[in-house]
């Protein structure tokens, strides 16, 4: 009888039982999704981006349907750091799955302050720095569009925590590899690519934007080629692991990212119409490796043939 192929992989100091996890922002109410899928089967649990203080986010309408996806401008609605640590985190600790906390600071000091506090919080395995939200006017992408600012934030947070540090970057720049290199130089253990490309939709009957924020982040199958390209380009420029995200809804989608250079993947919008997507991808990866006679998924990372 053949051995079961290995799906486990490593991001920084975090050992994942498989490379599949939710994207930040997908699950705001973990107890609800836990009634549908077994969270212990996932490679990691990535939280909705936390802000230092509670925030209602952007005014509605905040979501609009577009061809092959959706536009969203939630604006990092957040229960706040303290409420998360005291309320949501204890529930997540019930599962034998690494917890990665996404942070969205409005300043370098806020990022550092929240990271320092997480050092003493039981059960947190890593931090994902949201340097790339397209839906917040006062900060968000402002940080992740500037390599100097990216390097500074990552460096200062790196000095404040020993937790695995992941920088989530925006595609809304001239050169993603340049920003990625700055994050690596600042001390990031890994990168998440990509956050949402910026888009816009207009209601032609009213001549008004469909989102109150006017623009929003695109998600869904339409952005997958952008994400795969970003992972491939960036993997040639840095020496740290990449987590691929954007438009993943099937095993084949996840494999595109892995073959292009991602060591793990995050699933976002697909969870809204099929909450079993991540479980199906995990099982699909196992089947793919078995069919191909590959004993370790890490052998697929960056195996893209271009000649």
Active-site residues: which are they?
Answer: 133
**Helices marked H in the chain:** 30-33, 81-83, 89-92, 108-118, 141-144, 147-158, 176-186, 224-235, 251-260, 270-273, 277-292
Cβ atoms of residues 114 and 52 within 8 Å: yes
Largest Cα separation within the chain, whole Å, is: 65
Six token digits for residue 192: 């998440």
> Residue 46's closest CA among 108, 111, 97?
97
245 vs 265: CA distance, rounded Å: 6
Cβ atoms of residues 193 and 187 within 8 Å: no
148 vs 129: CA distance, rounded Å: 15
């Amino acid at each position: 009888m053949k051995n079961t192929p290995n799906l486990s992989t490593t991001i920084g100091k975090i050992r994942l039982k498989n490379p599949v996890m939710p994207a930040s922002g997908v699950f705001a109410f973990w107890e609800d999704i836990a009634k549908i899928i077994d969270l212990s089967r996932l490679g990691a649990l990535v939280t909705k981006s936390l802000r230092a203080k509670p925030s209602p986010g952007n005014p509605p309408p905040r979501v609009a349907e577009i061809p092959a996806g959706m536009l969203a401008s939630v604006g990092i609605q957040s229960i706040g750091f303290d409420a998360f640590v005291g309320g949501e985190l204890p529930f997540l600790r019930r599962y034998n799955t690494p917890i990665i906390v996404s942070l969205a600071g409005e300043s370098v000091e806020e990022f550092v302050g929240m990271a320092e506090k997480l050092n003493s919080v039981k059960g947190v395995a890593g931090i994902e720095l949201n340097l790339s939200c397209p839906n917040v006017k006062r900060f968000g992408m402002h940080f992740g569009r500037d390599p100097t600012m990216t390097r500074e934030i990552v460096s200062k947070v790196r000095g404040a925590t020993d937790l695995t540090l992941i920088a989530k970057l925006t595609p809304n720049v001239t050169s993603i590899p340049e920003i990625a290199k700055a994050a690596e130089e600042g001390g990031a253990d890994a990168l998440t690519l990509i956050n949402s490309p910026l888009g816009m939709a207009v209601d032609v009957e009213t001549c008004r934007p469909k989102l109150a924020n006017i623009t929003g982040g695109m998600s869904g199958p339409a952005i997958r080629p952008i994400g795969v390209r970003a992972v491939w380009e960036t993997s040639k420029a840095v020496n740290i692991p990449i987590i691929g995200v954007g438009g993943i809804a099937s095993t084949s989608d996840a494999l595109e990212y892995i073959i292009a250079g991602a060591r793990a993947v995050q699933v976002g919008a697909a969870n809204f119409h099929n909450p079993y997507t991540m479980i199906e991808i995990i099982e699909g990866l196992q089947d793919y490796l078995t069919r191909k006679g590959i004993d370790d998924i890490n052998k697929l990372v960056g195996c893209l043939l271009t000649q």
